[in-house]
Structure formats: C-alpha cells, structure tokens
Amino acid sequence: MPQVHELIENYDPHFFWFDTWGKSEQITDEKVDELIAHVRKLSDKCLINSRIAFEYEGIDNKVDYLSMMDNSFPDGYIEKPWETSGTMNRSWGYHLLDYGWKPTGELLRNLVANASRNGNYQLNIGPMADGTFPKPSIKRLKEIGAWMDINGEAIYGAKPNPVAEQEWGYITAKEMKKGTKLYLFVFDWDKSGKIKVEKLLKIPTKIQVLETGEVLKGTNLKDGLEIILPEFRPDFNCTVITVDFNK
C-alpha cells in the first residue's frame, strides 16, 4: 500500500500492471478491495488490470481491463478491454539456448486476432545481459513495423469485428464521414482465388487492397459478400483488403 501510494503521488501513472498469482493468506479479498479503493481514491485516471488478484472471484468486475493467461488468446469477442501478454519464443527473459522463435506471421496473426476481438497484444522482448535486443527479436520487430507502416490504419483506432468470425482471417472496422470501412485481414489465401465474408449482406461502394490500391470485384450473395482476390498476393503473411459502405 505505501509503495502504490508513493508511485501515484510521485509519478501520476496512467495505469498499473499488477502481476499477482495464486491465492495468498496475506493478500485477502479484503486487502485486494482495500488496494483497489486506495488507487481509486488517489487517482481518477490510473487503470488497474485483473492480475492485481488473478484468481480472486469477481475480480473482472472490479478492475478496468483484463489480462489473459500468458500466451493465451481468446477465440471470440470480449466486451471489457483486455490483452494477451505473449513471448517471441518460449522465454520471458533472454535465454541463450531458447531457439523456439515464433515466425513473424504468427506474431502478426496474434496481434490482428486480438484487435478484431477488442483486445490488445502486449509483446514481450527479453533483452540480453548488456541491455541490447537479440537479433531474432530485432528482425521480427522490423518486419512487424514494416507491415504496420502500410497497414497500421487497420489496427490503430479501429473497432472490433462487427460481423461473423471468418475462416480466412479477421476483420476490424472504422466509422468514416461517409460511412463504414471494414478491414479484412486475409491470412489464408484460398486456392479458388476468392473469399467469402460470411453474414456481410450490405452492398459495398468500393473494395480494394490497402497496400497497393488495387480495386477488387465483389458479388453479394444471400449469405455474404464474395470477393475476387488479386492475381498477385501482396503480402504472404497477411494482406489487408478494405471494404467501404455508405451510411
């Protein structure tokens, strides 16, 4: 309690990322409630995550956002803001003999899937003893950064998927001045050269590839929107297609 008090008074934080595991005789339900109340009393902006008391019954309703289990990715929409804390390989800290580096495509899929379901992706980096990042981490960060330079508008400020979950990838959305824009993240490129957006019944005004601007053709079916994919695949990790609708 005194340390939390000191941090708020001296540094005015926007959020605390607590990491308490298991039930403790010292950290009772009453103590958890007291700590949350103390943060609320001292700051009207400081957010609290659910790992303040991870295994306490009803904690999700007492905090501002949810922290999933490590490397745990929910398979559907969650209304309350949430996040996954994930590793690039199998270790949180640097491990010389941990060669299990996840490919950039997998990290991107984790990021996009969470964004489409109202979640954040907190990606861990374990620095080496001298404080520098391992080369595999730098490589993956640069590749994610290059992808975000082109496709970042589909992530930053975007809302979660407003239609059904899709077999080929994920969807986010933005409200624009003239209507709604959907962002389709195509990970699985169908051999037919087409994808169907299940349960999307509106007629679009434009469909195009975000990276290249190539305009695509779409056909409205009874149960969704069928889109003809471009002849050349712009990105073999994830190609983003935009679909615009008028109000």
Answer yes or no: is 162 within a domain.
no
H helix or E strand, kind and range, residue 198: strand 194-198
Per-residue pLDDT at 21? 77
pTM for this model (two decimals): 0.93
Res 22: pLDDT: 74
- Domain-located, residue 133: yes
User: Are 103 and 68 in a shared domain?
Assistant: yes
Last residue of a domain, one of 154, 180, 200: 154
Predicted confidence at residue 23, as pLDDT, reads 77
Judge if 125 and 60 occupy the same domain: yes
Structural domain range at position 80: 2-154
Asked if 33 and 149 sit in the same domain, the reply is yes
pLDDT of residue 201: 94
- Cα-Cα end-to-end distance for the chain: 51
Q: Are residues 9 and 74 in the same domain?
A: yes
Check whether residue 82 and residue 177 sit in a common domain: no
Regarding whether 87 and 148 lie in a shared domain, the answer is yes
> Based on the domain organization, do 18 and 86 belong to the same domain?
yes
Degrees, nearest 5: CA angle 24-30-34: 110
49 within some domain: yes
The DSSP output letter for 59 is: G
CA distances from 137 to 43, 83, 87, 93, 170 (A): 36, 21, 10, 12, 25
Side chain identity at 63, as an amino acid letter? V
E strand residue ranges, 75-165 = 82-86, 119-123
Residue 11 tokens read as 């540094």
Q: Map tokens 């605390």 to a residue.
A: 16
Residue finishing a domain among 106, 123, 154: 154
Q: Supply 199's token pair.
A: 């349960």
Same domain, 44 and 133: yes
Same domain, 19 and 99: yes
Residue that terminates a domain, selected from 128, 154, 180: 154
The CATH number of whichever domain residue 38 belongs to comes to: 3.20.20.80
Query: How confident is the model at residue 20, as a pLDDT?
Result: 84
The pairing of strands 206-209 and 169-175 is unpaired
Q: Are the CB atoms for 64 and 81 separated by under 8 Å?
A: yes
Residue type, 166: Q
Total domains present in the chain: 2
Measured in whole angstroms, the distance separating CA 206 from the mean position of its chain's CA atoms is 26
Tens-of-pLDDT digits for all 247 residues of the chain? Answer: 999 999 999 999 999 999 987 777 788 889 999 999 999 999 999 999 999 998 888 999 999 999 999 999 999 999 999 999 999 999 999 999 999 999 999 999 999 999 999 999 999 999 999 999 999 999 999 999 999 999 999 999 999 999 999 999 999 999 999 999 999 999 999 899 999 999 999 999 999 999 999 999 999 999 999 999 999 999 999 999 999 999 8
148, 173: one domain: no
Same domain membership, residue 225 and residue 137: no
- Tell me if 171 sits within 8 A of 182, measured CB to CB: yes
Write down the pLDDT at residue 25: 79
In 3D space, the residue among 74, 80, 34, 27 whose CA is nearest the CA of residue 53 turns out to be 27
Q: Is residue 216 part of a domain?
A: yes
Same domain, 123 and 178: no
| CATH number for the domain that contains residue 179 | 2.60.40.1180
